[in-house]
Amino acid sequence: MNFSVTVLGSNSAIPTLQRNPSAHLLNANERLFLIDCAEGTQLQLRRYKIHFQRIKHVLISHLHGDHFYGLIGFLTSLHLLGRKDELKLYANPELKQIIELQLAASRTSLSYPLIFHPLLSNNKELIIDAERLKVYSFPLLHSVPTHGFLFLEQHHSAMRMRHARSYAYCSDTSYCEDIIPFIHGVDLLYHEATFLHGMAKQAHEKFHSTAFEAATIAKKARVVKLLIGHFSARYDDLQPLLNEAREVFPCTELAEDGKKFDILPVTPNTFSENC
Amino acid sequence: MNFSVTVLGSNSAIPTLQRNPSAHLLNANERLFLIDCAEGTQLQLRRYKIHFQRIKHVLISHLHGDHFYGLIGFLTSLHLLGRKDELKLYANPELKQIIELQLAASRTSLSYPLIFHPLLSNNKELIIDAERLKVYSFPLLHSVPTHGFLFLEQHHSAMRMRHARSYAYCSDTSYCEDIIPFIHGVDLLYHEATFLHGMAKQAHEKFHSTAFEAATIAKKARVVKLLIGHFSARYDDLQPLLNEAREVFPCTELAEDGKKFDILPVTPNTFSENC
């Protein structure tokens, strides 16, 4: 059964022709979750042949444009394509009015129910409790209210011997050890690494992390694999960011647009790639 | 001196990997005007190597998403790139609150003055009166308040013998002969042609035009050249739309992403391409 993450965008702040800003797609046993939705995400979904209408849940980490400016276009395209199934949206409460105002301006009444769930908690909170998956939000440390997300596979009692797979998404955040209990031991941790550590001062001023810091969190949280992303547009070559992280935490990969990471169910802590 | 139009998007409604939705760039003697700004327009500007910061005026025809969902990202990128020069924005008054709400949600105070000019008139209105260019708005016939734009080159008295070049932008609109006085005799008319005339009923229901209707307007308005665009995503092959328009108005071209149309100053009604 599938448990995979597809990177739809790996840049911070400004879209470039090489890297779109933040969006990830989690496929958890054929349930599709869209996590963040920067401008251009709907085109990325087309590019990587992911069927829009199969997405049932959208989670927005925070209201910086590089994480949600593509949402209204995505919601509108679902409508224009005739969606009937409800869509659940988890985000900062301010997003509701932003969406409603834009739909009102275009005199659009969506063809499907859009169920809005405000993210309000300053603690770990269970936000989705589905048959075979639990999703939690937890606070990150950024310049505006920001949530990370933890996806945790659930097994029926008959399947308890199997490893329950997990994925955590942490963008954007300063280096923050408070998040370690929320992400401890996950199979795959996505943690932003906007800058190289030589720019740690700028990173802290902007409430972002360096590759070194992302790797330090991964190490302290004893995760299986680290995925770094949200790269500053100043870096054409990402290898130095990867090298910096791997010095601290060898099992690190670069988030690159279109790359898919499979988490295997066979045994605990096993990946399709060597680590 | 340059007077050219670059097509940044030619699709209607939904972006596809082949065609982005509406946006045009007018270069009038090195003044750059962005007309409409669908999602992904900032990437199209990068793709066609147009320097963002040189744009001083943005005109939004109406508040359907395929004409303005890229605006907030474009405005934010100008800010992140350190713009200082003011930007003038002409649009339906409802857009102001949509922008302000999104900037507030991200705690962004723009690095440059954004001067908002609401488009309110139901008649031809002079909206920009610059040294060598006048720009007018005029009403189109669509399901929400929509404006067309007329760009008219101005000459100093010493240059009066030269042809004053003109460009009119009409998207989105039903077939509407009321617009003919506003666009009469222009060098280049962009008129939407969402459908083939076999779908005239659907076109009218949605307040759009067919290729046949766009060409009929061009013929009746005695324009020099017609550019059709805003194509329904159902058309992979645009040749039938071009053929249909050319049967009525031979000097018709397809708006295609990245295509540039130069209007020459040498003699009245002369184009760089044969017509």
Active site residue B66: yes
Q: Which residue of B has its CA nearest to A18?
A: B43
- Closest partner CB to A16 (pick from B46, B76, B98): B46
From A65, A64, A15, select the one nearest A44 (Cα to Cα). Answer: A15
Q: In this structure, is residue B149 part of a structural domain?
A: yes
Burial class (CB in 10 A: 0-12, 13-18, 19+), B187: buried
Report the gap between the CA of B169 and the closest CA in chain A (Å): 20
Residue B267 lies in a domain: no
pLDDT tens over chain A, length 275 residues: 799 999 999 999 889 999 999 999 999 999 999 999 999 999 999 999 999 999 999 999 999 999 999 999 999 999 999 999 999 999 999 999 999 999 999 999 999 999 999 999 899 999 999 889 999 999 999 999 999 999 999 986 666 687 899 999 999 999 999 999 999 999 999 999 999 999 999 999 999 999 999 999 999 999 999 999 999 999 999 999 999 999 999 999 999 999 999 998 765 555 545 46
pTM of the model: 0.94
Q: What is the pLDDT of residue B275?
A: 67
Q: What is the pLDDT of residue A131?
A: 83
State the total domains in chain B. 1
Q: The CATH number of the domain where B146 resides is what?
A: 3.60.15.10
| Chain B positions in Cβ-Cβ contact with residue A104 (cut-off 8 Å) | 94
Closest CA to B89 of B114, B64, B54, B120: B114
Which runs of E-coded beta strand occur in chain B? Answer: 3-9, 23-28, 31-35, 55-59, 87-91, 114-118, 125-129, 133-139, 147-153, 166-170, 188-192, 225-229, 252-254, 260-262
User: How many CB atoms lie under 10 A from the CB of residue B81?
Assistant: 13
Name every chain A residue with its beta carbon within 8 A of the beta carbon of B16: 43, 46
Residues of chain B with pLDDT under 50: 272, 274
Put simply, the answer to whether B14 touches A107 (Cβ < 8 Å) is: no
Chain B CA closest to residue A72: B69
The boundaries of the domain holding residue A16 are 3-262
Chain A partners within 8 Å of B73 (Cβ): 15, 39, 65, 69
Question: For residue B42, which residues of chain A lie inside 8 Å, CB to CB?
Answer: 14-15, 39
DSSP track, A109-161 = --SS-EEEEE---SS-EEEEE-SSEEEEEEE--SSS--EEEEEEE---GGGTT
Q: Which residue in the set A16, A63, A105 is minimally distant from B98, CB to CB? A: A105
Q: How many helices (H) and strands (E) does chain A have?
A: 8, 14
Asked, for residue B269, whether it belongs to a domain, the answer is no
Q: Is the Cβ–Cβ distance between B163 and B184 less than 8 Å? A: no
Give the span between the Cα atoms of A249 and A218, in whole angstroms: 7
CA distance B44 to A146: 30
Distance from CA of A31 to the nearest CA of B (A): 24
Residue A272 located in a structural domain: no
Task: Give the residue from B115, B200, B232, B215 showing the smallest Cα distance to B170.
Answer: B215
**Residue B271 lies inside a defined structural domain of this protein:** no
Q: For chain A, how are helix, strand and coil distributed in percent, rounded to 5?
A: 25, 30, 45
Candidate from A17, A65, A104 with C-beta closest to B72: A65
Whether residue B134 contacts residue B126, with contact meaning beta carbons closer than 8 Å, is answered with yes
Write the pLDDT tens digit of every residue in B218-228.
Answer: 999 999 999 99
In a domain, A271, yes or no: no
CA–CA gap between residue B83 and residue B109 (Å, rounded): 12
Measure CB to CB from residue B43 to each of A17, A97, A105 and give the nearest one.
A17
Chain B environment of A257 (Cβ under 8 Å): none
Residue A268 lies in a domain: no
Euclidean distance between CA atoms B133 and A163, whole angstroms = 69
Structure tokens of A217? Answer: 């969190």
DSSP one-letter code for A213:
H
Q: What is the pLDDT of residue A203?
A: 97
pLDDT tens-digit series, residues A189-233: 999 999 999 999 999 999 999 999 999 999 999 999 999 999 999
Has residue B183 been placed in a domain? yes
Mutate to test the interface with A, among B12, B18, B19, B39 (most CBs of A within 10 A): B39
Provide the pLDDT for residue B161.
Answer: 82
Strands B166-170 and B147-153: antiparallel
Query: Token digits for B122?
Result: 């139901």
Measured CA to CA, the distance from residue A245 to residue A226 in angstroms comes to: 9
Is B77 within 8 Å of A14 when comparing Cβ atoms?
Answer: yes
Q: How many Å lie between the alpha carbon of B218 and the closest alpha carbon of chain A?
A: 28
